Amino acid sequence: MNGSSKHPFKLMPGWSSRFKKLRNDDGALVGVSIGGLGVETCFIAETATIIEGIIMAAEMGWQNIWVEAHSEAAVAALRNNKPHWKLK
């Protein structure tokens, strides 16, 4: 999963997008989703993408989900059940 924000200064909001690919336990690609998020920070883009990916996998009936993401901060926020207020 990847969420990104294009701005020369990483902490400033920029045009953001999301990209998710879901693979089964054999590594076969079974789902892809891309789209825009508007103007957001990298943290919001990554966190929103992770949440959407988990929802997408759950809707496919998956019960065991492995998440790979670029942002350790986004993963930590979700692991500690403390997502950004915009995403609650």
> Looking at residue 82, which CATH number applies to its domain?
3.30.420.10
DSSP codes joined into one string, 50-78: HHHHHHHHHHTT-SS-----S-HHHHHHH
Amino acid 19: pLDDT: 82
Average pLDDT (40-47) is 84
Whether the full predicted model's pTM is greater than 0.85, yes or no, is: no
pLDDT surpassing 90 at residue 61: yes
Quote the domain boundaries for residue 59: 2-87
Number of CB atoms found within 10 A of residue 23's CB? 12
Please answer whether residues 43 and 85 qualify as being in contact, where contact means their C-beta atoms are separated by less than 8 angstroms: no
Domain count, the chain: 1
| Residue 4 token pair | 């990104």
Backbone dihedral angles phi then psi of residue 80, each to the nearest 5 degrees:
-90, 10
Pairwise CA distance, residues 20 & 59, whole Å: 14
